[in-house]
Structure 1
C-alpha cells in the first residue's frame, strides 16, 4: 500500500482490488507527511484492540457517513476526543444519470444492486461511462479539531484507515459519500431498467419516477433480474417449503458493552446525524440493561436486581441524570462538554448540579440519587449497628440524620433507604484544623460533598473503598 514508510512492518489491511484498498491509496496519495500516516494507522489499529476501542488513545468512534464526507470522533491525548473528517466531492446529476444508466443496461449487475450488493464491477462500468466512482488523491480533503495542522493529522489518518475498513464491509457508504443513498440508487436503477425493457419491447415509456409496478408472478423490475429471484424471495421459499422447522439457535452471549451506533446519513430534511447517533447509543445501553435484567436506574456497582422492570418510567430530571451518568459520549465531573451543559439546560439545572447528580447515579442509581437529594431519619437497626462498628475501630464520626461525617478527614458516609452506605468526599479542601469546616450537625458551611467510590452494605467496606487522598 502506498504512502507507508518502508520497513514499518505494517501489513496491508485490505485485499488487492477492494474498496478499502482503493480508498486507502487515495488517502495516502493525498497525504503530505508519511510519519503522520504511520501514526494514524497505529492509532486505528490500537483502537481496535479492546471493547469499543476505548482503552486508550487512537480509539475511533463509529464513522458517520454523509453526503460528501465521513467523520468520527478520535480519542487523542486529552479526555475529550477530537472531531476528524474527510471531505470529497459528490457526483453531478449528469454523472449519476450516466453511471446508473450504464448499470441498468447490464441486467446481472443491476440485479445485484437491487439485491443489496455492490459488486466491484460497478467501478469499471462507471469508468466506461466517463464517471470516476472511486475518489482520487486530489479529491480528498482532511480536517480535524486538534491543533495539529498536518495534512492529514494522525487523528484524520486514523479515521481514513477506519473508513477503508468500513467500505470493505459496506460499499454503499461510498455511494452515499458520492451523493446518493442506497434506496435512491436502487429506485433509480429499477426505473431505468424498466424503461429500457419497455423501450426495447416497443411499448411507450412510463412517465414519472419511482420503481416499476409489480407484475404478476414476478417482482419489481421483471426480467431486469435476468431470471434471478431476490434473495428474500429465495429464502422465504426455502423456509416455507416444509412444515418442519429446525430448533431455534441458542441466544448470542450478551456483549460486555453496548454496541456502537450505526452510520447515519446526513440528508436534507433528515434529523441531525449526530443527534441520531447520540440517541442510538443510549438505546443500545437501555437494550443491554433489558437483556441483562439490570434496571437502568441501578448503579454501576456489583448489584444485579432482577425482580422488577429493567426499563422503569423515569421523570425528566431522573432520565437526564441517567443519560449524564451512563451515555458514552458524555463526560463526568471535571470536564463538562457542551452536550453535557445542553442536557443540564434542557431540564433547568446547572451543569455542575447535573454532574454531581450523575456521580450519585453511577454510585447507586435512583437510590444513590435519593441519598444525595434528601436527608432522612433511619429507624433503629442497621444504621446504629454501622455507627457502632466504626466506633469500635476507633473511627470518630459525627452524626446528622442519616449522615456520618469523619471528625478529622474530608469524608462522609450516607445511609440509604436501600440499606447501603454511600461514601462522599469534600471537594472544597480541608478546613481549619483539617476538619473540613464541619459543624456539630455534620453539615459544613464550606463543604462541597461529592459522591465518590462504590456503595456497600458494610460501612467499613464503603469507607475503605473510598480510600484517602
Structure 2
C-alpha cells in the first residue's frame, strides 16, 4: 500500500475522479459549455448538502435550479471508513484538514467503501426540463463541484452523507484515548502506605477549592513594548504564507477570540462564513480576491458575502447563500407588517422561499436562520445586502428604504 509520504500528498485526484464520473454522462462539448457557465456571473454559489448539490443560475427564461443527487453512505459504512483512516497514522494529519489526501479516493484506504459514488449512482435534475437527465445547467453544477473538490475535497464527504467535522471529532477523540496515560498497578506496599480513600478525597477537594493568587505584575505602559507580530520582519519559508498574510490571520483569530470571550455566539455556516468573517476584518480585506478563488465565487459575489457578514454575521452569510422555506405563515405575517410602509401598496409582492420581494420599491427581505429579516435593495440589477437585520420585518423594511434614500 502506498504511503502518504511516497504519494507526495495532493488533492487533485478528487476533482479528476469526479470529472470522470461526469464524463460518463456528458459529452466533452457539454462539459466545456458547463465549465464556461460555471464561471459566469449568472451562476450563483455552490450549495452542498447531504445527498445532493445545487446552485442557482439566472437565464433569459428565469431562475433555474440544477441539482445532482448521490446516494448517502450508511452509518455502518462511515464508521468503517473512519476506523480505516484512524488505523493509518500517515493519513490522519491530512484527514484533519480541508485538504484531505486524494489517496482516499482509492477504496483500499477506506475499508473497501468508496467515498466517491459510482457513475451510475449520479442523478441529474433541473428546472429547465421535466425529465431527469444531464443538461447544460447540471454540467455547470458538476464543474463547480469539481472546482471545489480540487482544493477542498471535504465537500464530497458532505455530499455522501457526513460532514467532515464528524471525522475530525472522531480522530481527535480517538487520539485523546490512545495517548491518555494508564495508571500503573499499585504494589501491596503502596496500598498499605497510602491514606484512606476518604482522606484522599478531602485533600483533593481542598486543593481544588483553595484560592490561587497570581504573582503581582506591574501594569503595562505601552511606551517600551512592541507587539510580537510587529517585531517579526523576516519572511517565512517560501512554502508558507507571506508574513503579511500570517499577520492578518492572527489578527482575525484574536478578534474572534475576543468575541467568544465576550459571549458572542458562533453559529458557523462553514467555510464561506469563516472566509467572509476574515475578509470583513481590516487585515483580511486585502485578501478578498484569494477568498473568492478559494470558494469558487466571482470577486463581486465575495464582496457581497463580506458585506453580508458586516451587516449580520454568519447568519447573514447563510441567508445570502441559501434559499430556505420558513413556511407561509411567517411570510404572510411579514406581508401584513410591511403593507403600511410600501410606497406602492397595490403593487405585487413576490415570494420565493424565505425571500419576500417588493419589486416596485426595489426592496427584498430575507428571513434568516437567526429568525431575523435581512434587508436588501436592488442596485444595478442585483440585490445588495444593507444593515440592519431585525426580528420585526417592518423595521427591516424601513432600514432598506433608508438605505435607498442614502
Q: TM-score, normalised on structure 2?
A: 0.48
Higher helix residue share: 2
> Which of 1 and 2 has greater Rg?
1
Structure with larger RCO (C-alpha < 8 A, sep 6+)? 2
